Amino acid sequence: AQSVTQLGSHVSVSEGALVLLRCNYSSSVPPYLFWYVQYPNQGLQLLLKYTTGATLVKGINGFEAEFKKSETSFHLTKPSAHMSDAAEYFCAVTKGRAAGNKLTFGGGTRVLVKP
Amino acid sequence: KAGVTQTPRYLIKTRGQQVTLSCSPISGHRSVSWYQQTPGQGLQFLFEYFSETQRNKGNFPGRFSGRQFSNSRSEMNVSTLELGDSALYLCASSSRDRTNEKLFFGSGTQLSVL
């Protein structure tokens, strides 16, 4: 079974500062990993995903994440926070190379951006 | 291209009633999955349909059911509603039923059970 742990349910950053959201996973098989963002009163939107290949993945809106198998981590970063980054972020995992779109989500991290 | 459409947007029901939620996927998408989002339990997978067949099911009681029609539209039904069923129900679609697929989410149906 897969599981995802996101450290910190709330993160506060200043505008222009580094955004770092932590995600650790547990999986019995090679995982596929995702970061989704949810803006208020909206559904989720994919930021980026890791399936195979390069372990540093670049996504939309300047975000990137690095898959570290030895640390079972997939932390999300953005060098410079913008006010529009205020949202809730979810890390998710699926079984790699399996059928179906069953995502297991972490508990989410709500990001507050201070001016 | 229109996104994933969920109706209704808000719903208020009382305990013991049943409810049906609807999801229209992006045109051409054949996979539809459903998630329940609550403050306490977070996002939990309910079920997934592909070409009218249920492919995966989460750990929810039998009161939760779903189906998919030949046009890929999907419905989920919850019978004998309980207070704990109050949640945001999200539908997501993708073109294939592969685990590396990008899911496109609707804005959800907010269900309140009184």
Report pLDDT digits (tens) over A41-92: 889 999 999 988 889 999 999 999 999 999 999 999 999 999 999 999 999 9
Supply the DSSP string of A20-89, one letter for each residue. Answer: EEEEEEE-SS-EEEEEEEE-TTS-EEEEEEE-SS-SEEE-GGG-EEEEEGGGTEEEEEESS--GGG-EEE
- The amino acid at residue B45 is F
Chain A nearest C-alpha distance from B85 (Å): 18
Q: What angle do CA A111, A12, A18 make, to 5 degrees?
A: 90
Question: Confidence class of residue B97 from pLDDT cuts 50, 70 and 90?
Answer: low
The answer to whether the CB atoms of A101 and B103 lie below 8 A apart is yes
The answer to whether the CB atoms of A99 and B102 lie below 8 A apart is no
CB pairs < 8 Å spanning A and B = 72
What is the arithmetic mean of pLDDT over A18-22? 97
Question: Confidence class of residue A34 from pLDDT cuts 50, 70 and 90?
Answer: very high
Contacts A48 to B, Cβ<8 Å? none
The answer to whether the CB atoms of A101 and B48 lie below 8 A apart is yes
Question: Confidence class of residue A102 from pLDDT cuts 50, 70 and 90?
Answer: confident
- Rounded to whole angstroms, the Cα distance separating B86 from B90 reads 13
pLDDT tens digit sequence for B15-67: 999 999 999 999 999 999 999 999 999 999 999 999 999 988 999 999 999 99
- The amino acid at residue A103 is L
- Rounded to whole angstroms, the Cα distance separating A93 from A70 reads 16
Q: What angle do CA A61, A4, B113 make, to 5 degrees?
A: 90
The answer to whether the CB atoms of B100 and A32 lie below 8 A apart is yes
- The amino acid at residue A27 is S
User: Who among B33, B43, B48 is closest to A105 (CB)?
Assistant: B43
What is the arithmetic mean of pLDDT over B81-108? 90
A50 part of contact set with chain B, CB < 8 Å: no
The answer to whether the CB atoms of B97 and A49 lie below 8 A apart is no
Q: Tokens 């190379």 identify what position? A: A97
Q: Which residue has the higher pLDDT, B84 or A99?
A: B84
State residue A31's pLDDT score. 85
User: SS3 of B34, please?
Assistant: strand
Question: How many percent of chain A have pLDDT more than 90?
Answer: 75
Nearest CA in chain B to A48: B102
The answer to whether the CB atoms of B94 and A49 lie below 8 A apart is no
H-run or E-run covering B26:
none
Judged against a pLDDT cut of 70, whether residue B99 lies above it is answered with no
Q: Which residue has the higher pLDDT, A102 or A13?
A: A13
State residue B95's pLDDT score. 84
User: SS3 of A17, please?
Assistant: coil
- The amino acid at residue B101 is E
Burial of A66 (0-12, 13-18, 19+ CB in 10 A): middle
State residue A95's pLDDT score. 75
Tokens of A49: 């995903």
